[in-house]
Structure 1
Amino acid sequence: MTDQSHLHSYIERAKNRLDEIDASVAHFEARAQEVQSEARTKADAAIARMKANREAYRAWVAENQEIGDRITAEARKEMEAEWAAFEDNIMAYFDAAAGMYEQDKAYFQVRIAALKDAWEKTVKRGRAAARTLQVSSREEADTAVAKLEESADRANEKLKELNKAGSASWAAVREALTTSRTAFDKALDEAQKAFKKAV
């Protein structure tokens, strides 16, 4: 059985984050004309930097897709640094678009939806990978995928509750996204271990 038969947690994380970046860039591009002309230059610059983050992330995924588990600590640091820069660029956009709370609220919904969609894709890929295993090895992988799905569902419920509150700041939403992503990533790591054991 090849290395491609199971989930690679860092590649899955990168794909999930790339989905979040894509949704974010699309949202901010669509809303940019609403930013006052004085702040528009700063907002456009933040969007341009987000696009650069997106391209760097895409390149990272393409470069590391095939090596899966053998991704180096240095490559992981690069991915994390690019993610941190992307998050900083979102703050720069919000700073430039000060006073546009309704837009911020809409962005929270976009980001939560993107994360949920990314998790669903990961679970779907996990199920597909589990089906490639021999029947004798499949049970543990199926259990790990079920736990992954449960983790995604729990995280999504927490994010929905935060979104319903309506008055959350970007800092609170960012923290909730990070906490939810961390819980899902832990379940993803456990699923990867189960797949390795099954192979």
Structure 2
Amino acid sequence: MGENSYPHETIAWAKQRLDELDGIISDVEKTSKGLSGSVRAEAEAALARLEASRASLRKSYDALRAEAEDLKRTAEDLQEALDAEWVEVETSFQSFLGALADQADTVRSIVAARAEAQRQAWDNSLKGLQDQAAETVDKARGELDAAIKHLSDEADKFQARIGEVKDAGDASWEAVKSGLAEAKAVHDRTINKIRGAFAKLF
């Protein structure tokens, strides 16, 4: 994962969680309205915890975005300094070529060698990024496929036990819930890896 893509991925992950939490809170609020007595009190307590979690996540998300923005500004400042120094490199190189004005073959040879070195560097960089992106996407796809298979297996077990005694049903339900949570975690990691792989290409 590139240093620049990691903060972006984390911000995207946090935003996704906040959006998901907004949906959960909305559903809990709607459902709570139809409840009464101790059940409603428990629902309201859960809602309060959810809202506190949302506030905490929002604070972390906002801090991360501000930090990423500072990092971006620092990177932009460094880029400007590098660009300014590169102007000096180009000026010096052109001065050197100017000093060889009466040696056209030498100048042609130097310019051709520089162009070849640039092309080779770009080719190497692009190939490295393509290989890394392909490897990351393939690995992430494999992890997601394995998680979906596991979830499917757990759902099949759950379906087979529906008619059994309540305890067995509860155990199966717990296995399915666990499988769903695992599949969601793998899905999230997969999406982040794929985003990271493609972020490196652009």
**Superposition TM-score tier, normalisation by shorter sequence:** 0.3 to 0.5
Of structures 1 and 2, the larger Rg is shown by 2
Normalization by structure 1: what TM-score?
Answer: 0.43
Normalization by structure 2: what TM-score?
Answer: 0.42
